[in-house]
Amino acid sequence: MRQLCVLHAFLFASSMALSAQAQISRPPITGIAHVGFYVSDQAKADEFYGHVLGYAHWTVDKPDLKFNCYKVSDRQYIKIYPGLKGDEQDRLAHVAFETTDAHAMRDYLASKGVSVPATLQPDLEGNLSFKVIDPEGRHIEFVQYVKGEKPNSAYDAPLSPARISDHIIHAGFIVHDRATEDRFYRDILGFEVMWYGGMTDTEVKWVDMRVPDGTDWLEYMLAVKNPSVRSRGVNNHFALGVEKIQPAYQAVLERGYKPPEPPKIGRDGKWQLNIYDPDQTRVEFMEFKPTQTPCCSPMKMK
């Protein structure tokens, strides 16, 4: 009888554990929190991100961590890290997405077999954040903003009136295997296809994967083989949203930067302007809405 009771207790506990695991749900992912890039010369990078783009920044200078943080808005940043070692090093350090509950996100990802930190601690900004590695080795961070717990007062610094854009609308990077990445971003994280297209109507070279609970997106950059430094810089990029492209174009010209080409309408039907930081990372100004019908596939708009 005692053995039977023990067996029943074990089966009940196992059932409860499996039920609890099955009930773990993904917390909201609301948008891009920040992007991080490596540069070879911090002063030259500051001329670009601070002067040309118009963002105010502050510096984190610790023995094990150094970067300039450029404030796009109260919820979005660009982190620029020194120490780019050469042409073979990827400029893109990581992409961070905002979530409403970092602990729940950690538990959810763990339930899906994703390697996550054992515990979470407040980061330099006083927020909760952690990093994972996606199936192709890209560092992806999740950030929960914790109101009133920012030990570094610089993060409450005023926004620069010179900033050309106040919104990072997407980040993109090279993807070698769309199906493999889909299992992480679509199946686990809940991203959905917003638009896809290519240089012709029949090819798929770019896939815009929108966050499940917001309007920002991640762009798969497909069919990139043996990329050069220039090609990696073009593909591993981020985009700043603007209402109209011409004022952005005029602003960068007035600040001494001459884009390699004038604004144009992309295959997604949106006006865009491509400029490049001193280490060839592409920054794309893009209007929020198409002015022409996008090629290749319908565009889902929220």
In terms of C-beta density within 10 A (0-12 exposed, 13-18 middle, 19 or more buried), how is residue 284 classed? buried
Contact between residue 222 and residue 178 where contact means Cβ atoms under 8 Å apart? yes
Say whether pLDDT at 7 is over 50: no
Which of 10-14, 101-105, 285-289 is predicted with the least confidence, judged by mean pLDDT? 10-14
> What is the dihedral sign for C-alpha 123, 126, 132, 133?
negative
The rounded distance, in Å, linking the Cα atoms of 143 and 121 is: 12
Q: Is residue 295's pLDDT more than 80?
A: yes
Share of the chain above pLDDT 90, in %: 81
Across the range 224-244, mean pLDDT stands at: 95
Q: Is the pLDDT of residue 136 over 50?
A: yes
Residue type, 19: S
- E strands within 122-177? 128-133, 139-144, 168-174
Strand runs labelled E in the chain: 29-38, 57-62, 65-71, 77-81, 92-99, 128-133, 139-144, 168-174, 192-197, 206-210, 217-221, 237-242, 264-265, 271-276, 282-287
The whole-angstrom distance between residue 254's C-alpha and the CA centroid of its chain comes to 29
Which structural domains are found in the chain, ordered by start?
29-156 (3.10.180.10), 168-287 (3.10.180.10)
pTM: 0.91
The whole-angstrom separation of Cα 191 and Cα 69 is: 27
Q: What end-to-end distance do the CA atoms of the chain give, in Å?
A: 61
Asked if the model's pLDDT at residue 2 lies above 50, the reply is: no
User: What is the average pLDDT score of the chain?
Assistant: 91
